[in-house]
Amino acid sequence: MYKHYDKNGAAIGLYDSEAERATFENGVLTFYFPKDGFWVLPDHTANPAGEPVRTDASEVRFHLLYEEEEDFHCYVFDKKSERKAVRRRWTVSELVSALNSGKYRLDFQDRYEGGYKELIFGCELCQKKKPYRRECRLWLSVRDVTYCWNEFAECCRE
C-alpha cells in the first residue's frame, strides 16, 4: 500500500527514472522504481518543496485500453553501425522478463501524447555490458495511469 495515488499525472514526470522490475496482469502493466522513484512537480498538491522532487520507491500502473496486441508496442533499436539501426518489436512478456531478469533497467527519457489515449515514451534499456544503452520506444494505449509513492526524497520530508 502506498500513501499517495495520483491518476491525473499532469504534475508528475518519469524523466530519468529507471524501472528495475515490471509485471503485466489483467491488462495492467506496472513498472517498479525501487530506488529514486519519479519526479513530482512543484504544482502538485502533495509537493511541499516548490521545486521538482523525487519520490522514494514507487510504481506506475498503465491500465491498457483494450488488448495487449493492440495497446502495447515496444520497439528496441539495435545499432548496427554509426548510420544504421535495426528495429525489433518486443512483446510485453519479453520486456517484463528482460527487466525482471536483472539484465536490464528501463530508463524513461521523453513522454509524448499521441492519438486517442495514447502515450509514447522514449526510453533506453540500460545494461552492464556493451552496448550499455539501447534505444527503446513504448507506445501504450491506456484507459488510465496510476502513480503510486510513499515519501519524497530526503530533501523534502517534513
pTM (2 decimals)? 0.93
* Cell numbers linked to 48: 511541499
- Of 15-19, 58-62, 78-82, 141-145, the poorest mean pLDDT is in 78-82
pLDDT at 99 over 90: yes
- Which residues form the domain of 143? 4-156
- When pLDDT is cut at 50, 70 and 90, the band that residue 121 belongs to is very high
Specify the pLDDT at position 155.
61
Choose among 152, 22, 39: nearest CA to 74: 22
pLDDT at 140 over 80: yes
Q: What's the number of domains the chain is made of?
A: 1
CA dist., res. 140 & res. 150, Å (int) = 26
Do 26 and 62 contact (CB within 8 A), yes or no? no
